[in-house]
Structure 1
């Protein structure tokens, strides 16, 4: 039986973290990276522009299935690959809803999924009207291109969206949700329809970027776990998602859950699974896109805490601090993304798992703090 070849478009840390899982499964992995020296450079067999059809076509000719490190490949290129007979997972019909927030909100509303009150606005006057009807403040989002807090702002007047109206035909505006905490429910779905869910997790944001993930989500009731899993499974099936799907959620102060964002690929809130789950999100994604039976996604321990290393040491390599961190925190699992340090940039993460959440969280935070310095702690 020939070794299956998975082609990943995008050379970031998500592609990088698929590599060891592919090796363990006996899968060959190839990466189309955007530039030399990418995070996934060990598997970057090609460097080229994912927005150029012929570049992507040439890359796809040598693989059995195409999947993604990010969701930015243009629809016309994805559909051309489908027309060429290439297996693409997730497909363009699903990725459309991760690429365009307005399309996502329309489709989720059609499915009856719980979303914040929202509207499509084209003028400052329309935005003013929505703000006035929703307590004097709202959340404004660009339909495309937003990530890690970019393309999202809280507004209290239509004029605060003036600079964005010139760049997009329409913007997405949503109610400003009163929430207790943010949650994430990850599932994986294979083309034949099998779906497996990981435990619900809590995520903690810092300046619009995920800083911590606590797994499973502390104090989540059996009912909340049941509801969030059902929501993610409904979306995965309703949008025909293949691979990993992350559903980011708000837990509201009146005991509801509302969908915030979707990602159709391995996700930051699932990094804890590399050390804390029986099947990591990266192994599961590879299984799913190849339509192989999915693995057990249950947690290995009572608690896992993942802390993103944001910024990292500014005057030395992150790996220069590994020995000191390992000596002080032998329980910590360290992961680096092969990126240069920059304030606020995700350059790695730390995970600790164990039987007591408070002890695990303390150890994970202490280990991650050893990678900070005065210049990067902002």
Structure 2
């Protein structure tokens, strides 16, 4: 029997972990990577080095693949349409993926569907941003470049018209949003297959530091069953309405008056779902692979009452390998996932997962391990 070949565009850690999830299923992976040193290129045997923005490169790469999927959302939509015209399944398809590529398109479509979002509009210059601020009750407001932002990049909280100048220097449209007075950030992760089967993971709390995800707690502590169900149903409805195939992360604001608002969409495995590697019966990565191949989806239920994921960011301590001895000896149940990246300050180089019955203990174990690997904790 010949098992399917999954073509993965992008060589980052998401591709690395998706490849890992496909190994037990007997799947073959083909990778289009920027460099041989990329995270996934270090572990996938069939690697093509090339530029995903070049259509001829994409077409050559896609030959022999049964499906194309992504480590990131940046492949030009017109290129994906060309692959589909060539008869190659692209999942998620361009009509869905554009909503993760372009925040202006995403906001317009979600608003048209009646999905709760922050007040927003595309603005043309700092004066227009100031006019928007007046419309929503004054500064501060949030300005975002409609394309290319992630991990806090391409996002500005501005408190005056003068502060609104930098976002416009990139020469791309800018989306203005009201600054939501939220009590915490949540994420609803779901996976949907081409024939419409879908599964929903527990809604998680995502804690950010300097615009970068630091900690994820599954399930979100103290979240009512009603609001958790509302968030899951909202994510499932968005996936169905947009025609998403594969993993969808819906990042949410929870407000003080008990509402949820959609912040961002990601149509690929997501940092808020990394806990599922060790905390769920079927991980986000395994279910993403199943979905893009239209295989039956796996059980998303958690294995333990609590799972905590902490990102390991690079710091001034470059040799993380020697820190393994302490972390593994201190906590034999700890799960460490490293990405094969050079250590640079602030760069995501790995994550840790812990799980158990007591949230405070599980949270302390994860934070200690992540801090020790980074070098901010020395005992």
Alignment of 1:233-312 (within 5 A): 233-312=236-315
Alignment of 1:1-378 (within 5 A): 1-41=1-41, 42-43=43-44, 45-133=47-135, 134-312=137-315, 314-316=317-319, 318-373=320-375
- Distance in 2 of aligned mates of 1:170 and 1:46: 33
Q: Contact conserved, 1:122 with 1:169, CA < 8 A, in 2?
A: no
Q: CA deviation at 1:21?
A: 1.2
Deviation larger for 33-42 or 95-104: 33-42
Deviation larger for 205-214 or 362-371: 362-371
Q: What secondary structure sits across from 2:365 in the alignment?
A: helix
TM-score normalised by structure 2 residue count: 0.96
- Distance in 2 of aligned mates of 1:239 and 1:161: 32
Q: Please give the per-residue CA displacement for 1:12-54, whole angstroms capped at 9, x wherever unaligned.
A: 0000001221110111111111112110022151111000111
- Distance in 2 of aligned mates of 1:45 and 1:70: 17
Q: Please give the per-residue CA displacement for 1:198-224, whole angstroms capped at 9, x wherever unaligned.
A: 000000001100000000010110101
Q: Contact conserved, 1:182 with 1:204, CA < 8 A, in 2?
A: yes
Q: CA deviation at 1:167?
A: 3.0
Q: What secondary structure sits across from 2:232 in the alignment?
A: helix
- Distance in 2 of aligned mates of 1:242 and 1:123: 36
Q: Please give the per-residue CA displacement for 1:264-308, whole angstroms capped at 9, x wherever unaligned.
A: 000000000000000000000000000011011011000000000
The 3 A distance-change label for structure 1 pair 331 and 312 is farther
- Distance in 2 of aligned mates of 1:81 and 1:11: 19
Deviation larger for 36-45 or 100-109: 36-45
Q: CA deviation at 1:71?
A: 0.3
- Distance in 2 of aligned mates of 1:161 and 1:79: 36
Q: Please give the per-residue CA displacement for 1:97-122, whole angstroms capped at 9, x wherever unaligned.
A: 00000000000001110100101111
Alignment: residue pair count: 375
- Distance in 1 of aligned mates of 2:173 and 2:367: 41
Q: CA deviation at 1:166?
A: 4.2
TM-score normalised by structure 1 residue count: 0.97
- Distance in 2 of aligned mates of 1:102 and 1:211: 27
Q: CA deviation at 1:313?
A: 5.7
- What stretches of structure 2 of length at least 5 have no aligned partner? none
4+ runs deviating over 4 angstroms = none
Superposed CA RMSD: 1.4
Deviation larger for 9-18 or 158-167: 158-167
Q: Please give the per-residue CA displacement for 1:112-152, whole angstroms capped at 9, x wherever unaligned.
A: 10100101111222111111232321111000010000011
Q: CA deviation at 1:169?
A: 5.0
- Distance in 1 of aligned mates of 2:328 and 2:317: 20
The 3 A distance-change label for structure 1 pair 312 and 163 is closer
